[in-house]
């Protein structure tokens, strides 16, 4: 039995680990300074407890393994997003950010009652936003939007949303008026078979065009109805690209938790980016310029 398997339950089954052989894309050269804007690291209990409300149990995904993946794929920087299995215990990512010395940034999960002192410590470590999640157990829900936006604003943070944009209507007006930027994960997590004419996705495109928002073009393996090479996701990326090419960033979503095998290959996901963003100059914006602006990375590579 693996170290993680003993923590699995019927409600929170053990998911597979990432593909063990990451590699660079074959269709383009990853530019210097490129940022993987969405990834997770997973620790194991007892040092890094799993919350009882989680929806899955993940095998360990260490900081060392993540940094090795970045190197193997030609990426320079990474953004570590707090996974739902660890709830509001941000300690593993905070420790990792402090050791990385500017190479990485973090997105925290914090309770609405989080103190200013705790936010100051997270900001100093390298966090640049906090995440609200209504798709997996262990997350913070949308009822905390107003409170967390007010607390995040003094630090220049953004709010990041893991949601199915088919359910975006109840919070659309809030996104329009937020005092901080907003970021939506995985192109809105909409099943590709819904098509780009879906009302929720069209609302996302409209909000991206007209408000202070960003979208991560990522998670093809979560959206696709066809499976690899996930070509049914291309129209969604094109619609977002047409709306705001200056407000899109890319992420690997490593180590690809809570999905069924076969596990995605990072090089193949990057190759898909050649279809999502065919123009080389625009790919440079997505992989480097936009990401550096959103997360505050140095332009020195």
What's the pLDDT tens digit per position in 128-141? 999 999 888 788 99
Domain contains 151:
yes
In a domain, 301, yes or no: no
Residue 300's pLDDT is 56
- Taking the C-alpha atoms of residue 93 and residue 105, their distance in angstroms, rounded to an integer, is 9
List pLDDT tens digits, range 16-72. Answer: 999 999 999 999 999 999 999 999 999 999 999 999 999 999 999 999 999 999 999
- Which tokens belong to 76? 């320079």
The parent domain of residue 226 ranges over 5-295
Q: Domain total for the chain?
A: 1
Over residues 208-222, the mean pLDDT reads: 98
pLDDT for res 298 = 81
| pLDDT above 70: percentage of residues in the chain | 99
Choice between 156 and 135, residue whose per-residue pLDDT is larger: 156
- Give the CA radius of gyration of the chain: 18
For residue 152, pLDDT over 70 is answered with yes
Confidence of residue 299 (pLDDT cuts 50, 70, 90): low
CATH number of the domain bearing residue 65: 3.20.20.140
Average pLDDT over residues 167-177: 94
**Within a domain: residue 290?**
yes
Residue positions annotated with a catalytic role: 253
pLDDT band at 286 (very low <50, low <70, confident <90, very high): very high
Assigned domain for 63 exists: yes
Whether the model clears a pTM of 0.85, i.e. scores above it, the answer is yes
Is there a domain that residue 99 lies in?
yes
* DSSP line for the chain: --TTGGG--SSSPBPPPPPS-----SSSPPPTT-EEEEE--B--TTTSPPPTT-S-B---B-HHHHHHHHHHHT--EEEEEPPGGGTT--HHHHHHHHHHTTSEEEEE---TT--HHHHHHHHHHTEEEEEEESSSTT---GGGHHHHHHHHGGGT-EEEEE--GGG-HHHHHHHHH-SS-EEESGGGS--GGG-TT-HHHHHHHHHHHHSSEEEEE--HHHH-SS-TT-GGGHHHHHHHHHH-GGGEEE---BT-TT-PSSPPPHHHHHHHHHHHS-SHHHHHIIIIIHHHHHHT--S--
Residue 233 lies in a domain: yes
Average pLDDT, integer, range 160-186? 96
Residue 208, both tokens: 């991206």
The position carrying tokens 């065009």 is: 209
- 50 domain-assigned: yes
Q: Assign 269 a pLDDT band (cuts: 50, 70, 90).
A: very high
Q: Look at residue 1 in the predicted model and tell me its pLDDT.
A: 60
pLDDT level of residue 301 (50, 70, 90 thresholds): very low
222-268 pLDDT, tens digit each: 999 999 999 999 999 999 999 999 999 999 999 999 999 999 999 99
> Domain for residue 51, yes or no?
yes
What is the mean pLDDT of the segment spanning 173-198? 97
Angle between helices 91-100 and 116-125 (to 10 degrees): 40
* pLDDT the model gives residue 17: 96
Q: What is the arithmetic mean of pLDDT over 284-294?
A: 98
Q: Are 41 and 63 in contact (CB under 8 A)?
A: yes
- Average pLDDT of span 117-121: 98
């Amino acid at each position: 039995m693996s170290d993680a398997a003993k923590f699995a339950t019927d409600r929170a089954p053990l998911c597979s680990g990432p593909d063990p052989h990451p590699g660079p894309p074959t269709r383009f050269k990853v530019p210097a300074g490129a940022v993987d804007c969405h990834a997770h690291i997973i620790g194991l209990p007892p040092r890094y407890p799993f919350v009882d409300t989680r929806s899955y149990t993940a095998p360990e995904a260490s900081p060392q393994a993540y940094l090795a993946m970045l190197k193997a794929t030609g990426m320079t920087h990474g953004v570590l997003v707090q996974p739902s299995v660890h709830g509001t215990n941000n300690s593993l990512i905070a420790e990792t950010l402090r050791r990385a010395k500017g190479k990485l940034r973090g997105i925290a999960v914090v309770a609405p009652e989080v103190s200013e002192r705790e936010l100051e410590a997270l900001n100093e470590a390298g966090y640049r936003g906090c995440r609200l999640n209504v798709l997996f157990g262990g997350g913070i829900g949308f009822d905390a939007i107003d409170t967390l936006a007010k607390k995040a604003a003094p630090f220049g943070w953004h709010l990041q949303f893991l949601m199915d944009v088919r359910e975006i209507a109840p919070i659309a007006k809030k996104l329009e008026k937020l005092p901080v930027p907003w970021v939506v994960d995985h192109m809105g997590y909409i099943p590709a078979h819904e098509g780009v004419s879906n009302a929720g996705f069209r609302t996302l495109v409209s909000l991206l065009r007209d408000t202070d928002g960003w979208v991560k073009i990522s998670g093809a393996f979560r959206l696709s109805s066809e499976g690899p090479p996930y070509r049914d996701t291309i129209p969604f990326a094109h619609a977002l690209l047409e709306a705001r090419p200056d407000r899109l960033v890319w992420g690997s979503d490593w180590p690809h938790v809570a999905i069924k095998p076969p596990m995605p290959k990072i090089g193949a996901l990057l190759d898909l980016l050649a279809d999502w963003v065919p123009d080389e100059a625009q790919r440079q914006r997505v992989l480097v310029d936009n990401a550096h602006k959103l997360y505050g990375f140095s332009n020195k590579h």
